[in-house]
């Protein structure tokens, strides 16, 4: 198995892409620890995929640091950190609430920073480790009336490259995943902004060259690639999985 003996933390893994990625890692032999603020749902997912669950709000610095320290204490190592937890707040410069912008930054950027900062010492001591940060296709292109989301996801790309450049010498690889349209509840703010599901589906069909949403397993496989030795000479890179949306 690709990840036999590895210890992996996946944030925001109680649903959607995070859950699919966590399941793929567990299937490949990793001991996966799910971090999510929805403890009940996290525990249900953990039971289904034979993982562990920790109820934690990643926007809580102290809680996030404590949860990571506990994983390290119990398992003695951390090999993979997938920073996936994120929120989507709609609105352009005039529409978005300042609190919405701040909340977006706290979850989409700062939490990635805090978690990475917490695992790097252990990875340096091991001489190896993988950090995967979830950005978005919105992190490399304009996203209509989504200034908070697009700004934070662009920041994740920059932060990923900085981390990769600074810590490659210690055997730590850092990459970013930029998913396109995946049919999950995460799209609710944009769906509301567009005027409902039918309007969003028409938008996806028009804008995405492959003409459809992605399925969750079409995100899980790239995640598995990026956290495993299949990508052993890849760091500081941004893998866009968007059905071709960003090339048109």
Catalytic residues: 149
Query: Residue written as tokens 């925001």?
Result: 12
- Specify burial of residue 217 (Cβ count, 10 A radius: 0-12, 13-18, 19+): exposed
- Token pair belonging to 21: 């990625």
- Specify burial of residue 54 (Cβ count, 10 A radius: 0-12, 13-18, 19+): buried
Beta partners for 175?
132
Q: How far apart are CA 130 and CA 215, in angstroms?
A: 25
Q: Would you tell me the crossing angle of helices 16-27 and 217-227 to the nearest 10 degrees?
A: 60
Beta partners for 182?
214
| Residues whose CB falls within 8 Å of the CB of residue 91, separated by 6 or more in sequence, listed in order | 97, 100, 145, 146, 147, 148
Cα dihedral 102→173→239→6 (10° resolution): -90
| Residue among 82, 78, 79, 68 at smallest CA distance from 177 | 82
């Amino acid at each position: 198995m690709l990840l036999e003996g590895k210890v992996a933390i996946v944030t925001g893994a109680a649903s959607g892409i995070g859950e699919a990625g966590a399941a793929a890692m567990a299937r490949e032999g990793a001991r996966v620890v799910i971090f999510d603020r929805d403890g009940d749902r996290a525990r249900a997912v953990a039971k289904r995929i034979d993982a562990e669950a920790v109820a934690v709000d990643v926007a809580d610095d102290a809680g996030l640091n404590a949860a990571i320290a506990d994983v390290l204490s119990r398992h003695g190592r951390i090999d993979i950190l997938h920073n996936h937890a994120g929120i989507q707040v709609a609105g352009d410069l005039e529409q978005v609430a300042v609190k919405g912008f701040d909340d977006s930054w706290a979850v989409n950027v700062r939490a990635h920073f805090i978690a990475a900062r917490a695992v790097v010492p252990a990875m340096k001591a091991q001489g190896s480790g993988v950090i995967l940060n979830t950005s978005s296709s919105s992190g490399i292109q304009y996203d209509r009336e989504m200034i908070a989301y697009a700004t934070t996801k662009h920041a994740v790309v920059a932060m990923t490259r900085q981390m990769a450049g600074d810590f490659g010498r210690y055997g730590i690889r850092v990459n970013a995943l930029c998913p396109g349209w995946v049919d999950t509840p995460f799209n609710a703010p944009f769906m509301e902004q567009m005027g409902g599901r039918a309007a969003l589906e028409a938008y996806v069909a028009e804008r995405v060259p492959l003409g459809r949403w992605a399925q969750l397993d079409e995100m899980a496989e790239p995640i598995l690639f990026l956290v495993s030795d299949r990508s052993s000479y890849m760091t500081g890179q941004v893998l866009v999985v968007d059905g071709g949306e960003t090339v048109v």
